[in-house]
Amino acid sequence: MALAHPPHLKRGDPFPEKIAGKLRLYSMQYCPYSMRVQMILAKKNVDYEIINIDLLNKPTWFMEKYPFDSFPVLEQDDILLAGSLVIAEYIDENYSKPGERTIPQDSYEKGRINMMIEDKFTKAISAIYQGLRKKENWKENSNIHVGELENILETNKFFNGEELGYADYMIYPWLSYIGHQGIDDVMSTGKFTKLEQWLKTAAQEETIRKCDTKPEILGKFLTGYTTGTFDFDFNI
Partner 1 sequence: MSIPRHMVTGDPFPENIPGKIRLYSMQFCPFSMRVRLMLIKKKVEFEYVNINLKIKPGWFLEKYPIGSVPVFELDGKLIAGSLVLAEYVDEVYSKQEERTIPQDPYKKAKINMMISDHLAKAVGPILDRFYQREVDVKKFEKAIANLENILGSQNFFSGEKLGYADYMIWPWMRYLDPLIIDGVVGSGNYPNIERWKQEMLSDETIQKCRVKPETIARYRNSVKTGKPAYDQE
- Site residues (CB under 8 A) for partner 1? 68-70, 79, 81-83, 85-87, 89-90, 93-94, 107-108, 110-112, 114-115, 118-119
Q: How far is CA 41 from the centre of its chain?
A: 12
Shortest separation between residue 220's beta carbon and partner 1, angstroms: 32
User: What kind and span of H or E run contains 80?
Assistant: strand 79-82
Whichever of 56 and 82 has its CB closer to partner 1, that residue is 82
Shortest separation between residue 17's beta carbon and partner 1, angstroms: 23
Backbone angles phi, psi at 226, to 5 degrees: -70, -20
Beta 79-82 vs 49-52: how paired, if at all? unpaired
Whichever of 58 and 112 has its CB closer to partner 1, that residue is 112
Max Cα distance, the chain (Å)? 52
User: What kind and span of H or E run contains 73?
Assistant: strand 73-76
Shortest separation between residue 170's beta carbon and partner 1, angstroms: 14
Whichever of 89 and 205 has its CB closer to partner 1, that residue is 89
Shortest separation between residue 114's beta carbon and partner 1, angstroms: 4
Whichever of 66 and 230 has its CB closer to partner 1, that residue is 66
Shortest separation between residue 218's beta carbon and partner 1, angstroms: 28
Instruction: Fill in the DSSP letter of residue 50.
Output: E
Whichever of 132 and 152 has its CB closer to partner 1, that residue is 152
Pair 149, 174: CB distance under 8 Å: no
Query: In whole angstroms, what is the distance from residue 158 CA to residue 190 CA?
Result: 19
